[in-house]
Amino acid sequence: MKLVIQIPAFNEEATIARAIASLPRSVPGFDSVEVLVVDDGSTDRTSELAKVAGATRVVRSPTNRGLAEAFSRGVRDASAMGADVIVNFDADLQYDPGDVAALTAPILEGRADLTIGDRGPGTLAHFSPGKRLLQRFGSWVVRQASGVETHDATSGFRALSRDAARRMEVFSKLTYTLDTLIQAGSRGLRVAAVPVRAHPPVRPSRLFTSTTKYVLLQGANVLRITALYKPLKIYSFAAAVLVAAGGVLFLACGVLSAHPEAHVPGLILAAVLIVIGFQTFLVALLADLVAINRRLLEESKRRDEA
């Protein structure tokens, strides 16, 4: 059994050596542990210092392509290295490397395909009250969208089996955390949350410049990915809202009104809403057929690769 710990990194020369040195080189259940660093187009000495620090392999992108692409490349390269289990670890040392064994245990025991390191974000002392509230709400939204029980949806400290790695296709250009959870739920993968320790950040986040931008982008990302994997659910809900609004307006302006002739514009609007609602439902059916076809193609591709 081989464990590969991958570290996506972008201009992390200040911490990359410490991150690599802190990782365990022996983990219960594994015959070997290797470290893969994915340098996402750094302009500093990240790659050089990673090699000096003892990384098993360092791969480098010519340009900065974003965290999601770095994660995806790491998963592909770790699989090519023969990994049976892949752990994703951040270069900024916000997670405790001593929790790697606990994170991989459910996969080794056959209880999970994907594990999420749960920092307990709703109670973290170095999170502001507003951020703790947003983390709780965001994780609730992801639970509804994915059907996966998680209370730390944005945690990057996670482990996945070789089979789960083959099933993951990250479409987001922003981050992989929510995308992979929604995929896991739609594909019936077993997901387990593992309590882990978290340290205060050593630098500001490079993904988001403000909380407002974070909420808007992640909200749009959840909606887009959910529509991609569960289109019938998303579009049917929209269709139901439109038909219900049109029905209420029709009742108010026509059936229950003493003078329906005075509410012709309202009746026209009601008819338009109902028609659009039914058209949206037809779109939902077509989108669902496309999603089914995509899943069949993905399964065919995985069988050919096997």
pLDDT, position 183 = 84
pLDDT of res. 210: 62
Place of tokens 């296709």: 169
Go through the chain and tell me how many residues it has. Answer: 306
- In DSSP terms, 194 is beta-bridged to 117
Give the pLDDT confidence score for residue 28 in this predicted structure. Answer: 96
Measured CA distances, 223 to 56, 228, 254 (Å): 38, 9, 35
Quote the pLDDT of residue 169: 79
Q: What residues contact 101, with CB distance under 8 A and at least 6 apart?
A: 24, 27, 28
CA angle 268, 274, 277 (to 5 degrees): 140
Q: CA–CA separation, 19 vs 12, rounded Å?
A: 10
Q: Report the alpha-carbon distance of residue 112 to residue 105 in Å, rounded.
A: 9
Highest CATH level, class, for 2-229:
alpha beta
3-state secondary structure (DSSP) of residue 173 = coil
**What is the Cα–Cα distance from 161 to 79, expressed in whole angstroms?**
10
pLDDT at 58: 97
Q: Would you give per-residue pLDDT tens digits along the chain (306 residues)? A: 999 999 999 999 999 999 999 999 999 999 999 999 999 999 999 999 999 999 999 999 999 988 889 999 999 999 999 999 999 999 988 899 999 999 999 999 999 999 999 988 767 666 667 677 777 777 787 787 777 888 888 888 999 999 999 888 787 777 788 888 888 888 889 999 999 998 876 666 666 666 666 677 777 777 777 777 788 888 898 999 999 999 999 888 877 676 777 778 888 999 999 999 999 999 989 988 887 887 777 677 666 666
User: Do the Cβ atoms of 291 and 229 come closer than 8 Å?
Assistant: yes
